[in-house]
Structure 1
Amino acid sequence: MATTNPLQFIQQVRTEVAKVVWPTRREVMLTTVMVFILAALTAVFFALVDVVIRGGLQYVLNMFG
């Protein structure tokens, strides 16, 4: 395993961090809003699936019970 000098390691880390493209405030806000919208849509979808399955089960149980 190659060992590196701590000073050299810090320089490499700083070089790599400088390459990172940080998102703008607008991009962060837009993606945050999109996550909330998609989470809400997913919750509604699964709630509807739950209602349909529950109704189907109640129908089958009432038919045979």
Structure 2
Amino acid sequence: MSVSPGKFLRDVRAEAERVTWPTRRATLITTGAVLAMAGLASVFFFAVDQLIGLGVRQLFGLGG
């Protein structure tokens, strides 16, 4: 079973026309939400890292 490159490209174009693309506003809102969650996650993991580091320093008496 072989498919010609021309038919493949026509099928790809037809499929792309059926896609429901997001609006600019929806894309911006989603991007903002992703950036906000990434920022919150980075702050959370920084705080957890600092607490664990403090605990390890206290446990082993490594300066402070």
TM-score of Structure 1 vs Structure 2, range by shorter chain: 0.7 to 0.9
Q: Which residue of 2 aligns with 1:11?
A: 10
Aligned counterparts of 1:37 and 1:15: Cα–Cα separation in 2: 36
Partners of 1:39 and 1:26 lie apart in 2 by: 20
Q: How does 1:1-65 map to 2 (within 5 A)?
A: 2-62=1-61
Runs in 1 of length 4+ with deviation above 3 angstroms? Answer: none
- State the alpha-carbon separation in 2 of the partners of residues 30 and 9 from structure 1: 34
Deviation at 1:9, TM superposition (A): 2.0
**TM-score normalised per structure 2:** 0.84
Q: CA deviation at 1:53?
A: 0.4
Shift of 1:6: 3.0
How many percent identity over aligned positions? Answer: 38
Query: Could you say what secondary structure the match of 2:14 adopts?
Result: helix
Secondary structure of the structure 1 residue equivalent to 2:21: coil
What letter matches 1:35 in structure 2? V
Query: What value does the CA root-mean-square deviation take over the aligned residues?
Result: 1.1
Q: How much has 1:10 moved relative to structure 2?
A: 2.3
CA distance in 1, matches of 2:56, 2:5: 65
Larger RCO (alpha carbons 8 Å, 6+ apart)? 2
Structure 2 unaligned segments of length 5 or more: list them: none
